[in-house]
Structure 1
Amino acid sequence: MSAATSSTITVMRQHRSIRQFTEQTVSDEQRNAIMASAQAASSSSFLQASAVIRISDPNLRERVMALCGNQAYVGSAAEFWVFCADFHRHLQWVPEAKTGFAEQLLIGAIDTALMGQNALTAAESLGLGGVFIGAVRNQPHELCDLLRLPKGVIPLFGLCLGYPAQDPEPKPRLPSSLMFCENHYPSEFDARQMQDYDQQVQHYYRTRTGGNKEMSWTGQIGDTLAKEARPFMLDFLRQQGFCVR
C-alpha cells in the first residue's frame, strides 16, 4: 500500500450519497460503533454541543418524512438520525451559563457537522451507505414540536443509513487547485479550469439522468443562490435561543 493511502482514505474518497436501500437492518453492534465514532469527533472547547435523535418509531418516521418533503429514503432507510446543535443540556447542569451568542451557533453547527461526517464515514467503512438530509430545516418549528426539542436545541440535518441498493458514480469534485490555497486567497481563479469542471459536471448529470438533466456547476450555483433559502430561519433560531445577542 502506498504511503499516501490507507483503507480509511479509500473509504472517504469513494463516498457517494445513497438514496436506495435494501431491507437489511443495521445491527446493534454496528449502530453502537457508528455512534461511538460520531462521539469521537473533535469538539470546540470540549463543549460537546450536539444531540442526536434516532427515529425508530415507524409512525414518527412517517411524520418526520412528511416534514422533509416526503423524500422516500427518509422512510426506507434502515436508520434515520436527526443531528442537532444543543445548548439546552449545558443549561440543565450549569443554569448560570450564558447562551444565545452567535458564536455558539457556529460552535454547535461545527461540532454537529463533524459528528455527522464521522458517523457516515464509520458507516461506509462497515459497508453501509447514507445521505445527509438538509430538509429537516424545511419546517423546523413543526419538527421541534414533533421531536420535543426544547429551547436551546435546533435540528441541523438528518442522516439516512442502510445497506445500499444502488451503486452510483461519485460526483466530480472541484479541482483541488480551485479549493486549496497557499498562504493567501487568490485574486482570481483559473477560468479555463472552471469551464472544464463545468463540462465535467454537465457530463455527469447527463449520463446519470439519461439526458434529462444538463446542469453545469455554475448553473447549479445560479439556481441555488437565486433567492434566499428558508427565509424564516433567523426568526426560528432566535425563538430557540440562538443568535439573540
Structure 2
Amino acid sequence: MNETIKTQLNHRTIRAFKNQELTDEQKKTLEEVARHTSTSMFLQQFSMLHVTDDEKRAKIREITGQKYVGANGDLFIFVADLYRNSEIRRQLGKDEGALHGTDVFLQAVEDTVLAVQNFVNAAESMGLGAVILGSINNEPKELVKILNLPKMTYPVLGVQVGVPDQEPQLKPRLPLEFISFENEYPHDFSIENLASYDEVVQTYYDLRDANKRIDSFTNQIGSAKLDNRKTHRSQILEVLHEQGLCWK
C-alpha cells in the first residue's frame, strides 16, 4: 500500500465544485500527465480542449443535461485525434492509409481514455476532484459543431475538474469474483449470485440527490438505460462516418 494506491482506492466522483478555477500550475501539471500517457504504436492520437468560453460551456451543459458541467471548476474535452496524423501524411505526400479504419480509430480511443484516467488520477492526487463525462455524446453532431472539430476527430469524453465542494460516499463496485478470472472466462453466471451486492447498492445514497434511494445494480441493468431505444446517441456511428472514421 502506498499513497498512489490509497488515492485510487479512495476514488469518488465529484459533481459539486467550489467557485474557483485551476491555477496555471495545476492546469499545466494535469496536461503534462495526460501528455505522458501510454500510446498505441507511438501514434499519440488524442488531444485535449480546455473549454473556457462561457457560451460553449453553456451549450455543452445543455447537451449533457447536467447542471455542474461547465459551471464551477474547469471543463476539458478529450478528443480521439487522427486529424494530426492525417495531415502529417498528406504533407509528406502520402495518402491517409489505414487512418479511416476501425482498428486505428480504436487505438485512438484507447489513447484518449488512458489519458483521461491518468488526468483524473493526477487531479485526485493533488486534492482536486473530477467527474468523467460520457454525457458529452448525448448529441454528438451538435458537439462537433460547438467545438469546431475537423474531420478525423471525435470527442470521446469530457472531464469537469476542480476543488471539491462535497464529500460523497464511496460507491460500491462489483466484487472481484465477478470481474477477475484466471485463464478463461466462466460461462456459468447467475443473477442470483449478485443478491448480496444488490443489497449493498440498495443502501447506497448518491449525494446528487441525498433523498433518493439508489436502485439495485441488477435493476439498473434491466432498466431503460440499456433498452433498445432511439436517442441522439444513436447518431454516434453516423457522426463517426461523417468525420471520416471507422469506414472499414
Aligned counterparts of 2:58 and 2:216: Cα–Cα separation in 1: 34
Aligned counterparts of 1:12 and 1:110: Cα–Cα separation in 2: 20
Q: CA deviation at 1:91?
A: 1.0
Q: How does 1:18-37 map to 2 (within 5 A)?
A: 18-37=14-33
Q: CA deviation at 1:135?
A: 1.5
Q: CA deviation at 1:25?
A: 2.2
For 2:70, the equivalent position in structure 1 comes to 75
For 1:159, the equivalent position in structure 2 comes to 159
* 3-state SS, counterpart of residue 41 of structure 2: helix
Structure 1: unaligned runs, 5 residues or longer: none
For 2:85, the equivalent position in structure 1 comes to 90
Q: CA deviation at 1:203?
A: 1.1
For 1:57, the equivalent position in structure 2 comes to 53
Is the contact between residue 204 and residue 213 of structure 2 (CA under 8 Å) also seen in structure 1? no
Aligned counterparts of 1:206 and 1:14: Cα–Cα separation in 2: 16
Aligned counterparts of 2:61 and 2:148: Cα–Cα separation in 1: 16
Q: Go from structure 1 to structure 2 and tell me whether the alpha carbon gap of 1:210 and 1:178 turns closer, same or farther (over 3 Å shift).
A: same
Q: Partner amino acid for 1:182?
A: E
Q: TM-score, normalization: structure 1?
A: 0.92
Aligned: 1:236 with 2:239: yes
For 2:111, the equivalent position in structure 1 comes to 111
Aligned: 1:227 with 2:228: yes
* 3-state SS, counterpart of residue 231 of structure 1: helix
Aligned counterparts of 2:76 and 2:14: Cα–Cα separation in 1: 15
Aligned: 1:42 with 2:28: no
Is the contact between residue 101 and residue 245 of structure 2 (CA under 8 Å) also seen in structure 1? yes
Structure 2: unaligned runs, 5 residues or longer: none
Is the contact between residue 101 and residue 246 of structure 2 (CA under 8 Å) also seen in structure 1? yes
Is the contact between residue 205 and residue 215 of structure 1 (CA under 8 Å) also seen in structure 2? no
Aligned counterparts of 2:8 and 2:22: Cα–Cα separation in 1: 20
Q: Partner amino acid for 1:132?
A: I
Deviations 1:140-176 (A, max 9, x none): 1111111110110011111000000000011101101
Is the contact between residue 17 and residue 73 of structure 2 (CA under 8 Å) also seen in structure 1? yes
Q: Partner amino acid for 2:5?
A: I
Q: CA deviation at 1:51?
A: 1.1
Q: List structure 1 segments (4+ residues) > 6 angstroms apart after TM superposition.
A: none
Aligned counterparts of 1:137 and 1:207: Cα–Cα separation in 2: 24
Is the contact between residue 15 and residue 208 of structure 2 (CA under 8 Å) also seen in structure 1? no
**Identity level (%):** 36
Q: CA deviation at 1:59?
A: 2.4
Is the contact between residue 202 and residue 216 of structure 1 (CA under 8 Å) also seen in structure 2? yes
Q: How does 1:162-201 map to 2 (within 5 A)?
A: 162-189=162-189, 193-201=193-201
Q: Partner amino acid for 2:48?
A: V
Aligned counterparts of 2:195 and 2:60: Cα–Cα separation in 1: 40
**Higher mean C-alpha displacement, 191-200 vs 103-112:** 191-200
Q: CA deviation at 1:191?
A: 5.0
Q: How many equivalent pairs are there?
A: 240
For 1:14, the equivalent position in structure 2 comes to 10
Q: Go from structure 1 to structure 2 and tell me whether the alpha carbon gap of 1:63 and 1:209 turns closer, same or farther (over 3 Å shift).
A: closer
Q: TM-score, normalization: structure 2?
A: 0.91
* 3-state SS, counterpart of residue 195 of structure 2: helix
* 3-state SS, counterpart of residue 232 of structure 1: helix
Q: CA deviation at 1:192?
A: 5.2
